[in-house]
Structure 1
Amino acid sequence: MNLHTIVLHPSGLSFTVDSDTALLIAAESAGIELPSSCRNGTCRTCICRVKSGAAAHLIAWPGLSFDEKAEGYILPCVAVARGDLEIEAPLARRIEFT
């Protein structure tokens, strides 16, 4: 199983993920919160932009326009890494447990 390193900007938070796990799920497992709501690729709450690397969506047509996909936008709730990634995720934060 290949593990990929994901770095979130501008926070610098990072986590690892395998090629089969959605980025949102892996972030949460690593104690990182990304905005989310529907978790099925329609609401766009989790939208982020890939700065470098490659990702693929688990569904044929997520809630992104053709232009958004071409500009590198992804929906982490239904996207997987195809290698190491750097992602613009300005609202990412470490989950604080009390």
Structure 2
Amino acid sequence: MSHLVTIAPAQLSFAVHEGETILQAALRCGIDFPNRCRQGVCTSCVCKLKSGEVRYDDPQPLTELDKQQQFTYCCLAYPCTDLVLHHPFIRG
């Protein structure tokens, strides 16, 4: 099973396969997705979750402030549904 992820405002869409993080799928699809550490530390891949639901393996990387801000750490996040994310620096 896969889920469709759309990145706004670029309106780029790609499929994320089971067991694949959002970042892994974006890079597999050739999308120039900002990333560095791939461990949830540098925050370059963080998007705002506009719609949908994601899950993380333990330990949960999000702080309470991250959750309030609807931040999604794409290097660690697995989609549970189709998603719309916002990242201002990703271009189509």
Instruction: State the Cα distance separating 1:28 from its structure 2 match.
Output: 0.7
RMSD of aligned alpha carbons: 1.4
Partner of 1:14: 13
2:43 equivalent in structure 1: 44
Identical aligned residues as a percent: 33
2:75 to 41, 64, 77: 77
Long gaps (5+) in structure 1:
none
Distance 1:65 1:44 in 2: 13
- Higher-Rg member (1/2): 1
Q: How many residues align?
A: 92
Q: Which moved more, 1:72-81 or 1:52-61?
A: 52-61
Q: Residue 53 of structure 2 aligns with which residue?
A: 54
Partner of 2:91: 93
Counterpart code for 2:69:
E
Residue type of the alignment partner of 1:68: D
Write the deviation string for residues 21-57 of structure 1: whole angstroms up to 9, x where unpaired.
0100100111112111100111111111110000112
SS of the aligned residue for 1:68 comes to helix
Aligned partners of 1:21 and 1:59: how far apart in 2?
16
The two structures have a TM-score, normalised by structure 1, of 0.85
Offset of residue 19 of structure 1? 3.1
Query: SS in structure 2 opposite 1:32?
Result: coil
